[in-house]
A and B are shown apart, each in its own frame.
Chain A
Amino acid sequence: MIVPPEILNLLIVSATAMVAAAPVILLLLWFRDKKGGTLW
């Protein structure tokens, strides 16, 4: 049962998009904590 190219493409592209979103969210959380005095 071979994975079709469309599924492989979907898997790789969606995983890359998710990883790309992570640093943005981390920075937003950092600014929120910094502002609220809850960083440390």
Chain B
Amino acid sequence: MNSDPVLRADLGWLILALFSAVWIWLGWWLGRRAQGLDGFMLAGRKVGLALGTATAMATWVTSNTTMAAPQLAFQMGIWGMVGYSLGSIGLILFAPLAKRIRQLMPQGFTSGDFIRLRYGKLAWRVFLVISFFYAFGWLISLGMAGGVLINALTGIDYHIGMTVIVAVCVSYTLLGGLRAVIGTDFLQSLIILTGIVILAVLAISKVGVDTMHEQVLAERPELLNLLFPAAIMFLFNNLLFGIGEIFHSNVWWSRAFAFREGVGFKAYLIAGLFWAPVPIVAGFLALSVPALNINVPAADMVGPLVAGELLGAGGAVLVFIVVFSALASSLDSLLAATSDLVLTDLYKGHLRPQAGEQELVKAARWITLGLGVMTWLLCWPRITTLAELLYFTGAFVASTIWPVAAGLYWRSINPMGATLAMALGTLVGLLSYFMIGFYVAALVAAAVSMILVLLTTWLAPRGFDWQMLNPTPTTARES
């Protein structure tokens, strides 16, 4: 990078060491009472409203919110940050689904379980490809964000920063499973929300919204234009992308299984309402770039650079702590949920169908460690910017919206139609990503998927017994 770091490297190391120790100790302490597979994977299935709301909110506030929101505001202006905040609709719409999932599958473990039992093995395998591609895309974007943040703020090498963040999250997830993840998420959510508010208040008082508006209007008026065409496409694309991410990902399904009965609906609804204003508050900092005349060497560094410029060393420390918490709260959740998916759907589902509980508990820890190592390897070459990577996966996830949502409520969905919807939706979405732009991939994938689900169900409807989603343990793998 060609700008000076805003924090001294030794101060950066001190914060990293302090927070790393806290998260690892807390993960061990919270997870020490987790017993058996349910305890490790699903926190005993008794998570209450406070922890449930915080984990849903904190997991969705990622480095992509705290770093890509300013990036998108910098590139797309007001629609960039407002469009990003529509990601909350996914959480809000998942609220009734979480309730339905808990009712239909009280003993379920993963989103893969649902697809396998609902649509059969072909759909399950297509879904797993999509899920793993997305999970790795997200894991890489989080790991990369860690390295980028630490480098931008302290000058510590990207590879070292990325390694520390991945290692810390793997350590405490390994020690405490989902209990550790949810417990740390609560503290992390308090830190993130408080930190963002402090930064926003200081930014408003130092630059002022009127000055931001005046300078943006003079230098980049398109950022304030409500009819900015690419940005409007982005808005709808982001809405569908967020819904697709949440509806299909095991991160959200595992929480639906882990929450105490009656908690899922309220937790996701409140979390969605809490989350909606976060990208606006994190994103508007980028609108001060023209007023401050900051040199932005890479768009994904705009957030930390503006905070450092505006608020000096204190602001840089604060943004560092906020984004470190945001990264950890998402990376741990994704590691735990992807580990569950590998364990249940690949290890037990494909390799070791007869594996007992003890073997699975042991395998869960090895899988978490393996995922951490794989993430670290994939993050090593900094392959793309955060938003580009994020939106590449949009085509994959948006194609699952209809098969998941309709499959939970609509008895007559055609299983082959659902399979085709996921496969062809992804394919056409990817084509549009390359031929038109990143801002239409999810939009096209969701449209193709919807048409296929509706058309095949209209032409060849099938029946389904909802009881099939709650099989006894002995018959669970026979369907």
Contacts and interface: CB of A to CB of B under 8 A. Distances in A.
Given A2-B225, A12-B280, A29 B204 contact: no
B204 A18 contact: no
A16 B281 contact: yes
Nearest to A34: B50
Interface string A1-34: 1110100110111111011101101110110111
A2 B221 contact: yes
Q: Identify whether the interface residues of A are mostly helix, strand, loop, or mixed.
A: helix
B186 A16 contact: no
B200 interface: yes
B201 A16 contact: yes
A23 to B, nearest CB: 5
Interface in B270-318: 270, 274, 276-278, 280-281, 284
B226 A12 contact: no
Given A19-B196, A26-B190, A40-B46, A1 B227 contact: yes
Contacts of B51: 30, 33, 39-40
B87 interface: no
Contacts of B53: 26, 29
B contact patch SS: helix
B49 interface: yes
Interface stretch (B151-159, B209-217, B464-472): B209-217
Nearest to A2: B224
B200 A16 contact: yes
A32 to B, nearest CB: 7
A23 B201 contact: no
B194 interface: yes
Given A5-B209, A9-B210, A23-B193, A16 B227 contact: no
B100 interface: no
A22 B191 CA distance: 11
Interface residues of B, number: 45
B197 interface: yes
Contacts of A27: 190
B248 to A, nearest CB: 26
Contacts of A20: 193, 197
A32 B53 CA distance: 13
A15 B282 CA distance: 10
Q: How large is the interface on A (under 10, 10 to 19, 20 to 34, 35 or more residues)?
A: 20 to 34
A38 B49 contact: yes
A26 B54 contact: yes
Contact of A40 (B47, B189, B221, B274): B47
A28 to B, nearest CB: 8
B400 to A, nearest CB: 29
B49 A8 contact: no
Contact of B217 (A2, A11, A15): A2
Nearest to A5: B213
B43 interface: yes
B382 interface: no
A24 to B, nearest CB: 9
A3 B78 contact: yes
Interface string B38-60: 00000110111111011001000
A14 B204 CA distance: 12
B189 A15 contact: no
Contact of B260 (A11, A13, A22, A38): A38
B179 A8 contact: no
Contacts of B197: 16, 19-20
Contact of A16 (B57, B189, B204, B214): B204
Contacts of A29: 49-50, 53
A5 B214 CA distance: 8
A10 to B, nearest CB: 9
Given A18-B276, A18-B277, A40-B51, A8 B193 contact: no
Given A2-B224, A16-B201, 19 more contacts: A1-B227, A3-B213, A3-B225, A5-B210, A11-B78, A12-B204, A12-B281, A12-B284, A15-B85, A15-B280, A18-B274, A19-B197, A19-B274, A19-B278, A26-B54, A29-B49, A39-B48, A40-B47, A40-B48
4 nearest CB pairs, A to B? A15-B277, A29-B50, A15-B280, A30-B50
30 contacts: A2-B221, A2-B224, A2-B225, A5-B209, A5-B213, A8-B78, A8-B209, A11-B78, A12-B200, A16-B200, A16-B277, A22-B274, A23-B189, A23-B193, A25-B270, A26-B53, A26-B54, A26-B189, A26-B190, A26-B193, A30-B51, A30-B186, A33-B49, A33-B50, A33-B51, A38-B49, A39-B50, A40-B48, A40-B51, A40-B179
